[in-house]
């Protein structure tokens, strides 16, 4: 099972239990042309280790706090000589908005997809993430607690078109 890359300086690492974070990282990874790997909280599989080493990854974005990816995993990556950068929710800032903001700094866009509601939105968001990344559309996960921040982002970036994935009854 070969990777699309022979060499890649950067990679994204996400906990397998956090599908919402993976959905939002796909467009960013696609834009930077970097791989996105999955891990458990306290260990990286030997397959992922092999791929990271084979690619010569020098910087790994760890998505989530230490409850998502442990400090021991972070230290193990650092021992390989790679730099680690954590992308976490900060007070008042959802990870999906942080990815969309980072993507906007690289390339302006006027369309987004909103994966609404954990039960259906995330499952459907997985299907949408690949198509969205191909069309340079970020996917933002939306829960009731994120509505104001998301609306602010949409207004600030002058977003003209929004695709809603999942339970649109949660949006009024």
Q: Is the pLDDT of residue 114 over 60?
A: yes
**Alpha carbon separation from 33 to 9, 21, 30, 135 (Å, rounded):** 10, 18, 5, 14
| Nearest residue to 65 (alpha-carbon basis) of 136, 14, 139 | 14
Q: How confident is the model at residue 59 (pLDDT cuts 50, 70, 90)?
A: very high
**Alpha carbon separation from 93 to 32, 39, 84, 96, 113 (Å, rounded):** 22, 24, 20, 8, 18
Q: How confident is the model at residue 168 (pLDDT cuts 50, 70, 90)?
A: low
Q: How confident is the model at residue 1 (pLDDT cuts 50, 70, 90)?
A: very low
Model's pTM, two decimal places? 0.88
Q: What is the pLDDT of residues 62-91, one digit of tens each?
A: 999 999 999 999 999 999 999 999 998 775
The tokens for 58 are 């020098």
27-48 exposure pattern, b = at least 16 Cβ within 10 A, e = fewer: bbbbbbebbbbbbebeebeeeb
């Amino acid at each position: 099972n070969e990777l699309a890359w022979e060499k890649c300086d950067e990679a994204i690492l996400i906990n397998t239990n956090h599908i919402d974070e993976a959905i939002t990282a796909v467009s960013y990874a696609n834009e930077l042309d970097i791989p996105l790997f999955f891990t458990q909280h306290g260990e990286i599989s030997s397959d992922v280790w092999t791929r990271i080493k084979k690619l010569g990854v020098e910087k790994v974005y760890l998505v989530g706090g230490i409850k998502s990816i442990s400090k021991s995993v972070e230290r193990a990556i650092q021992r390989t000589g790679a730099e680690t950068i954590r992308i976490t929710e900060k007070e008042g800032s959802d990870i999906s908005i942080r990815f969309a903001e980072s993507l906007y700094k690289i390339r302006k866009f006027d369309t987004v997809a909103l994966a609404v509601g954990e039960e259906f939105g995330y499952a459907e968001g997985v299907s949408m993430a690949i198509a969205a990344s191909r069309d340079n559309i970020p996917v933002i996960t939306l829960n009731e607690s994120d509505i104001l921040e998301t609306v602010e982002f949409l207004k600030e970036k002058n977003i003209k078109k929004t695709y809603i994935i999942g339970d649109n009854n949660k949006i009024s």
